[in-house]
Structure formats: C-alpha cells, structure tokens
Amino acid sequence: MQTIDGGWLAQAEHCLSPNYGERPHNVAISLLVIHNISLPPGQFGGTHIRELFCNRLDCGAHPDFNDLDGLRVSSHLLINRDGELCQFVSFLDRAWHAGESDFQGRSNCNDFSIGIELEGTDDLPYTDQQYDSLVQVTKTLQNHYPLISSGRIVGHCDIAPGRKTDPGPAFDWHRYKKLLG
C-alpha cells in the first residue's frame, strides 16, 4: 500500500502547483474525480501537462495551446502512460480541477473532491500501467479518506455533464471497479 504523509503521496514525484486554495472549513474529502488530459491533444509524453499545472506552459509553442493562455488549473495527481505519478497539490488542499460542477445536488466539487488526471484522451485506450497505478492510488485514498466509497468515484463527465466528457468512452469503468475489488 502506498502512504500519504501530510496530504502528499510518498510514492509520487512532487511538482508544486500555485493553482490551489484552502478547502472550506469542516468539509470532508468524499469524492474522487477521474479526468484525462493530453497536450497537445492526442500526444503523450513530454512536460506540457506539468507546465500547464505549474503556470509555465509556453502557449505559443503549439497552435492548440493558444486558448490555454492565462488558464489557471491543477489536479492533485497525474498518472502518465507509464503509470508514473506526479502530485501537484496536497490532498488537504483544494485543487482547481472540476470547475463548474455538481454531485448529488452539491455544487463546487473541488471543495470536497480529489482530482486524478490520466494522460490520455476520450477515445484511445488507457494503459495497463495506468490502471494498475490508479487502482493502487484509489485504494490508498479510500483507506486514508474513508468517505470515498465506490459510489463516490466518478468521471469529470458525471459532475459536469454537457461541459466535459472525460475520462471518455475509452476508460474501462468495469475493469477499474473489478480491479478495486
């Protein structure tokens, strides 16, 4: 099992993002949101995702980056195609990953959720290594934050329907839930 110390996953590389805030007082972590991201879209590897989450992306480096200029976003964790983990924000803090969102009638999901980005797209299969890492991280989070039950693990598409589609139809929810046990 992985370990969490002071809101940080010990097994992850730590790349500190300035894009976070304090969670509201007395709000428990009770939701896990799974996303996908690739920069440029459909291309994997490189440092662009990290640069985006740390406000260091050169938006002139690729035409697809033009609309990212001035964007301030983050996620708690990124799982790359090799299954490697990079953490940007402490789990104790509020990462800026969900945007306008709602879960079971409760808005502002960033307040009570943890966001995990998978390097990928809606329509390309995720890797075995990503599923393995995601399952290990999920089990660790559920152990540390017991309000994250299996019914409180969702895709970005579930909390921002019509606005977001990730992790997309390529994400195998059945496989993921089966591996979680």
The residues carrying an active-site annotation are 117
The string of DSSP letters for 118-139 reads EES-TTSPPPHHHHHHHHHHHH
The two tokens of residue 69 are 């200029």
- DSSP code, position 178: H
Contact 161, 103 (CB under 8 A): no
Cβ neighbours around 9 below 10 Å, total: 23
The residue assigned the tokens 């960033």 is 110
State whether residue 150 is helix, strand or coil: helix
